[in-house]
Structures are given as C-alpha cells and as structure tokens.
Amino acid sequence: MFLKPFKVKSNTQLKTSDKKKLRVQMSQQFLKLSEEDIHQLVPLKEDVAAMKLYCNKGDPTVVYLCSGCPLAFTVNSHLGSVLLPSVYMCWLYPADTVATVFHTHPDVLERLQQGADLMMPGVIISGQLSPTTFGNFEAGSPAVVVCRGAVVAVGTTALSSTDLYMAGGHGKAVITAHVLGDHLWAAGTKAMPNFTEQIPSAPSSTPVPETPESGSATCDYGSCSSCTVSEEQQLQEQMDELQVVDDQTSATPPAQVSGNSCEAMDALLLHCFLKAVQQSNGKLPLPLLTSSFYRLHVLPACPDNSALDIKKTSYKKLSKFLSAMEERGILKISEPKKGVENISSVDYEHPDVTNFRYSKSETTVAQVSGESGGFVPPTLEEVHQVSGNTVEFFRSCGKCKGDVLSKQDVRDIVTSYVKRKNLADPQTGMVNLEPVLHEAIIAPKEGLVRLMKWDQIFSRLLGRMSPAVRIRRPGQADIIKKGKIECIEMVVAKRAGNKKVTLVYHVSNFGVDEHEFARQVQVLAAASTSVGPAEHKPQGTVQILVQGNATGEVAKLLMETYNIPKKYIKGLELIPKNKKGRN
C-alpha cells in the first residue's frame, strides 16, 4: 500500500474522547496486549493524530500516529475494516502478541519490498505440515512477517488456517500492506529493527544453508559461497536503495530500482513475451493477429504487482517490438493486408525461448477465460437481517439481532414456530397470531389481528427486516452488504483531444477487487487502465478508468465472468452497437 508516495487528505489531532475510542478499538484488535500496554501506545497526555490518506492505487486508509511516529493503520480485508500495527509498533512487543506470525528467509524481504505478497514457498515451517501448523484464523486476519527475529512486514492472511493447510505449501499466504522501507516506515523515525535471532529451522524438504561462524550470511541461500557481508549490512543497503522521498519529489518505483523506468518496462515486456511463447507449448493458432497475441497471451503473462504498458517502453509501439523479435529470429511477421500484421511463424526452439525461466507462482491473478481451477465468480444472494420489531420473535427461535437469513431460512423458521406452537387453524388454513408473532408483523395502528394467511406472514416479516446482500467466493469469508446495495455504474466521458474514457464505479460492492478487475479489462479490451480515487463522488469511492468506450467489454466481464445480474449494472445502454463507437 505504501510503496509509492501517498496523498494526505487530512491530518488532525485526536481529542481525549477519540483517544479513548482508539484504545477500545486497539484492545479489541490486539487481544494479547494488556490494558497498560494499550495506554502506553495511546497516551492521553501526548499528541496522537489521525492521518487520512489515499495510497498510490487509490486505496483510502487512516494512519494513527503517536508523537509523529506511525502506530497503526486501517485496511479493508475479507473481514471488513481491520486495524493493523505498523512495524514500529510490532517492534515494541513479541510478534505473536499483535498478529499471526509467519517466518521467512532474508532473501524474501527484497521481494516484499518490491511489492510482492508473501507466498507459501517463502514461509519457514517447523516440522511436518499438519492441520495445526498455522493455528486458527480466518482469511483477512492480521498477520506479520518475521525475518531473523524481527517483524519486517505487516498484512492480512490470504486464506484461513484450514485453507492454508489444504493448499499444501502452495499459493499466497499473506497479502502485504506495509513493509520495512516503504513510505509509511519513512514517515516515522526510520529506525531499523534489531536482527538478533537465528532463522527457525525449516523442515527437511526445505534445505537451509549453515550460518557461517563469523556471523556472515550467504547470498540467496547458497547461490554464492564466498559472500562475507553481514545480513544487517545487506538490509541497510536495501534501505539506502529504497530511501523514501517527500510527496513533492518523484520516487523510483521499487520494482525499478535497478534501472530507469524505460529499461525496466523493456525488461518486463521481454519477460512477458518470452513467457507467453513458452506457455503456449508450441500451440499458438498461427497465423495470429499481433494485437490478439498481445491481448490474449502477453498481457496475461504479466507478473503480479506489475503493470505492463508498451507506451512506456523504448519501443512505444507493439509493431516495433515484434520487429526486434523478428530480427532475433524468434518469429516472423507477415502483412496480408495493408495495416494488418500477423505472426506467421514462431521458432519455439530458439535459445532465447528455451533458456528462459520464470517462477510459476509469479502470476496468481485470475484469468479472464475462467478455466477450471482458476477464477471462480462470486455468488450474490439477497438476504435479510434480524432487526426492529422482529428481534423478539427471532430471539424466541434461537436467533440474535443482526443475524443474516435467506428467504428460505425465514420461511423455515416461521413454519417451525407455527407447528411448535400449534398456531395453524385446521378449518381456515390460516395462522393464529399469538403475542410474539403479532408484535413482529402487525403495526400498532392496525389494532388486534387474530388470523393471517401464511404468505402474508412471510412477506410482512421480510418487509420488517433489514435488506442485505450476501456475496460468497470460494476460500473467502462471506461479505454482507447492508441495505440496498449500490449498483455498479459505467460512465463514458470525454477527455483532452475528444478522446473517450470509460469510468467504472462500485465494483468492490460485489466482492470484486478493483485492481484485478482493471487488469482483466485491460486484457479483454486491449486498452490501458488505471485505478484511483473518483472525482465528484463521495469520499472513498474508487474509479476504474479504461481508455475508449469499453462498456461492452466491462459489461461482458461483469455478467459472464463475475455472474453479476443485469439489474445491478447501470450504463448498459452506453454499449456501442458497432466497434466504431470505441475510440
């Protein structure tokens, strides 16, 4: 979240009453911290500020600072809004008292500082993998990443403890939100943790080299046998490379610290190209339009936390890059019609292709095509919450205020209640309304009503409950959206040069990740996309911007891949009737 400069919206000092509320929130989040610990973290007689800001990707968050040092911050996870500790706070207490702990190797830290999430192959596991290895937690729970005895990153768990065990050491473990060396760390004292402990022993399937007696560390765990630079020095050098600058200056993205942005984008383009050729397994449907090859094969090969933009490369155009690949002898380009370029042949045995290597775990973003074993769309269900005058009735049936029930659940509960109380009138087929049921469905102005039909009871009870929508995705906690859910909105606007752009709002209301969705639209529409704060919308609204009129592609993705019903999508009338509408 904080790898690039963030935009501060406000920075206000908390009043004493607000500090007490923050104490309560922290005591509920960090259960293992004592009351005295919480009081020391949030002292009433010292300055405690709440800084509202937008991260570079448009994510809104609130950072709490004590005496100018970041203490904690909020993130949105599968469990809703979660309060996470900063690395500074984590260094004050044992790691397991603030969150679930994941140990990792020093060489993984550099990946985390470049924006990567913690993957399971990078987690050190003591002993054999078992159902109790990871403890007991839900997806979206607070987590910290520990390297040599010190917390170096903070985030939320990607899966529940059970799902992590079932994954068998594969997939994503922690979604990284804050890491040592990022801009949130730079907003504090810029202190370094005390790396003192040795790395926990790993299972026999994960060999770890011996630590040299001199206290030095080997590079990349055995890739270099003559390195004598201490791990503390290595980490300090990484901090120097990732030195954070003020918001007014330009910062080099962490993924590009080894070169300028143009060179880094060239390297990313070549990586995606070779990966796409290799992944095709020699089965590209030749001849293939160059634009289709880029849209269907190159863009999906882009690693997580990276965004490929050919306009930011030294080639500027796809045709120039493919010409360079043709000069290398990797492929051949033909032009059957003027302005129409095809890939006519590919040399799959070319040394550049056969010698290319990439990590299979680098791309975890769901594919647009929705192949088996890949992305599974969410399911939406209209539900109702126990509220108002219905509370006493449902309480007598074993439910509590706020419980979420489907229409069938309500029907089953009413049916069971009527049978248990013998309220059904055998002669009329209607239901006798005893006091508890009467209070739940009859308004005071209606007076006393003795009998009512079954269907009327159901409809009245549902009408007095709070409407909500339950969003379910495999491996994730259910998302409950209270009230009438705000529909996804598509808008076509004009920018400089009379160019059209498509703006999409509120996709997160349906459990859709904005950045994942933007990437899928980029692939499907072959157009550049961006995610950021929405203009002229309520605070916190995020917009997805797509170049051109991409309403057709956006609608197709929403309805066919994500299974979002039409009634939840506004702007379908903007879909152009022919491709000329897209410019």
pLDDT above 50 for 245: no
Q: Where are the beta strands (DSSP E) in 164-267?
A: 172-179
pLDDT above 60 for 137: yes
pLDDT in tens, 117-134: 999 989 998 878 888 888
What is the C-alpha to C-alpha distance for residues 244 and 254, in angstroms, rounded to an integer? 10
* More confident position, 515 or 244: 515
Q: Measuring CA to CA, which residue among 174, 173, 179, 184 is closest to residue 150?
A: 179
What is the C-alpha to C-alpha distance for residues 83 and 24, in angstroms, rounded to an integer? 12
- Top-level class of domain 261-354: mainly alpha
* More confident position, 164 or 213: 164
Confidence of residue 505 (pLDDT cuts 50, 70, 90): very high
Percent of the chain at pLDDT above 70? 84
Q: Where are the alpha helices (DSSP H) in 285-424?
A: 290-293, 318-328, 351-354, 391-395, 407-421
Q: Which CATH superfamily is domain 486-581 in?
A: SUI1-like domain (3.30.780.10)
Q: Measuring CA to CA, which residue among 188, 184, 191 is closest to residue 73?
A: 184
For residue 472 the two structure tokens come to 């379910």
What pLDDT sits at residue 213?
A: 36
Confidence of residue 196 (pLDDT cuts 50, 70, 90): low
Establish whether the linkage from the previous residue to 287 is cis, with ω within 30° of 0. yes
pLDDT in tens, 544-555: 999 999 999 999
Q: Where are the beta strands (DSSP E) in 506-577?
A: 529-533, 542-547, 569-570
pLDDT above 80 for 361: no
Q: Are 288 and 342 in contact (CB under 8 A)?
A: yes
pLDDT above 90 for 178: yes
φ, ψ for residue 380, nearest 5 deg: -110, 135
Strands 142-147 and 100-103 come out as parallel
Residues whose CB falls within 8 Å of the CB of residue 256, separated by 6 or more in sequence, listed in order: 264
pTM beyond 0.75, yes or no: no
φ, ψ for residue 430, nearest 5 deg: -100, 180
What pLDDT sits at residue 474?
A: 60
What pLDDT sits at residue 247?
A: 34
Tell me which CATH code domain 380-472 carries: 1.10.245.10
What is the C-alpha to C-alpha distance for residues 282 and 322, in angstroms, rounded to an integer? 18
Residue 181 CB coordination number (10 Å): 27
What is the C-alpha to C-alpha distance for residues 401 and 449, in angstroms, rounded to an integer? 25
pLDDT above 90 for 233: no
What pLDDT sits at residue 300?
A: 81
pLDDT in tens, 365-399: 444 443 333 455 667 788 899 988 899 999 888 88
The DSSP symbol for 295 reads: I
What pLDDT sits at residue 516?
A: 80
pLDDT above 60 for 204: no
What pLDDT sits at residue 497?
A: 73
Check if CATH label 3.10.400.20 holds for domain 7-241.
yes
Residues whose CB falls within 8 Å of the CB of residue 355, separated by 6 or more in sequence, listed in order: none
Mean pLDDT in the chain? 80
Query: Counting every residue, how long is the chain?
Result: 583
What is the C-alpha to C-alpha distance for residues 420 and 413, in angstroms, rounded to an integer? 10
Tracing tokens 């990707």 back to the chain, one arrives at 57
| Domain locations along the chain | 7-241, 261-354, 380-472, 486-581
pLDDT above 50 for 205: no
Q: Measuring CA to CA, which residue among 537, 532, 527, 548 is closest to residue 489?
A: 537
Across 21-35, 121-135, 475-489, least confident range:
475-489
Q: Measuring CA to CA, which residue among 269, 74, 310, 109 is closest to residue 193?
A: 109
Confidence of residue 477 (pLDDT cuts 50, 70, 90): low
Confidence of residue 101 (pLDDT cuts 50, 70, 90): very high
Q: Are 460 and 441 in contact (CB under 8 A)?
A: yes
What pLDDT sits at residue 475?
A: 53
Q: Quickly list DSSP for 84-123.
A: EE-HHHHTTS-GGGTSEEEEB-HHHHHHHHTTPPEEGGGB
pLDDT above 60 for 226: no
What is the C-alpha to C-alpha distance for residues 141 and 159, in angstroms, rounded to an integer? 9
Q: Quickly list DSSP for 4-20.
A: S--EEEEEEEPPHHHHH
What is the C-alpha to C-alpha distance for residues 397 and 418, in angstroms, rounded to an integer? 11
HEC sequence for 290-326: HHHHHHHHHHHHCCCCCCCCHHHCCCCCHHHHHHHHH
pLDDT in tens, 272-320: 999 999 988 888 888 888 877 887 788 888 887 677 878 888 898 888 9
pLDDT above 50 for 74: yes
β-partners of residue 34 are none
What is the C-alpha to C-alpha distance for residues 413 and 427, in angstroms, rounded to an integer? 23
The dihedral region occupied by 342, where left means phi > 0, alpha psi between -120 and 50, and beta the remainder, is beta
β-partners of residue 195 are none
What is the C-alpha to C-alpha distance for residues 521 and 450, in angstroms, rounded to an integer? 57
Q: Are 503 and 544 in contact (CB under 8 A)?
A: yes
Q: Where are the beta strands (DSSP E) in 123-171?
A: 142-147, 150-157
* More confident position, 367 or 433: 433
Cα torsion 82, 87, 89, 91: sign: positive
What is the C-alpha to C-alpha distance for residues 252 and 241, in angstroms, rounded to an integer? 10
pLDDT above 90 for 322: yes
Amino acid found at 258? S
Long-range CB contacts (within 8 A, 24+) of 402-405 = 404/468, 404/470, 404/480, 405/465
pLDDT in tens, 517-543: 888 888 888 888 888 888 888 877 889
What pLDDT sits at residue 553?
A: 92
What is the C-alpha to C-alpha distance for residues 565 and 580, in angstroms, rounded to an integer? 27
